[in-house]
Amino acid sequence: MQVRAKKEIRAYYAALIQAWGPQHWWPAESAFEVIVGAYLTQNTAWTNVEKALGNLRSAGLLTIKAIRGVSVAELQRLIRPAGYFRLKAERLKLFVDFLDTKYGGSLNRMFEAPTKTLRDELLGLNGVGPETADSILLYAGNHPVFVVDAYTQRIAARHQLLPESARYEETQHLFQEALSAIVNLPVSHVRNNESARRRETPNRAHPPSRMSSAERPTLAQIYNEMHGLIVGVGKHYCRKSQPECDGCPLRSFLPSHK
Ligand code: SF4
């Protein structure tokens, strides 16, 4: 079962990257902006996060120093469009406190920590669950961890790769094991494959950003792309109710289609 599932996941990656090309995650100019976005995106749509990030950018607050110095009330006001603004303001302040206390305020030092150590520390922070911790590790720090979201779990269940009740870590382990086996493919398979975007699809990748275009280890790049591609499938085809399997690049892999 696991062997079939891993083979399938590798085939999904190949099919999606062939259909859509790079997705350019994460849309941010700095590692800190990724972290702020990872907090703000909890329980809200990315369009709302963009408004909040735009407010922070206009106010010159997308830096560690600025978040450290701003009042909680002002931070709440600026991130209000992202919802749960009181909680999120408090949590952003807590993150900066953690960074200061544990790593002298340096993201570089923080990301030099071993993946497991840092993941455990992030998970210990108020308001940081596995998806947020892994988004920070992967997209801000280039640590090779795969980000699992509701779309990943939905697709895995609908394609009978895992039961619907699979835990986050179980899904993550399966995808990591599967995708780590393609790390030796030519690098053109995993990034800068713009020519692969040959079909008109409803999927729209983010425009390239400084963070999305940065050099990173191949495995981190594969995990980066796969998460972005899965979000594309989930947003445009694999909706919670009434999935639109016709037209979905993964349709030929549906158990009922075989
Ligand atoms: S929309 Fe259909 S084919 Fe596409 S991933 Fe979901 S279940 Fe599979």
Per-residue pLDDT tens for 210-227? 999 999 999 999 999 999
| Separation of CA 252 and ligand 1 centre (Å) | 9
| Separation of CA 84 and ligand 1 centre (Å) | 31
User: Atom 3 (ligand 1): residue with closest C-alpha?
Assistant: 251
Backbone CA torsion sign across 137, 138, 140, 142: positive
| Separation of CA 244 and ligand 1 centre (Å) | 7
102 ligand 1 Cβ < 6 A: no
The phi and psi torsions of 5 (rounded to 5 degrees) equal -60, -40
235 ligand 1 Cβ < 6 A: no
246: tokens are: 């016709």
pLDDT at 206: 83
| Separation of CA 234 and ligand 1 centre (Å) | 8
Are 12 and 250 in contact, with CB atoms under 8 Å apart? yes
Going by pLDDT thresholds of 50, 70 and 90, the confidence category of residue 202 is low
pTM of the model: 0.92
Going by pLDDT thresholds of 50, 70 and 90, the confidence category of residue 198 is very low
Structural domains of the chain in order of their starting residue, each with its CATH number? 2-26+146-257 (1.10.1670), 31-140 (1.10.340.30)
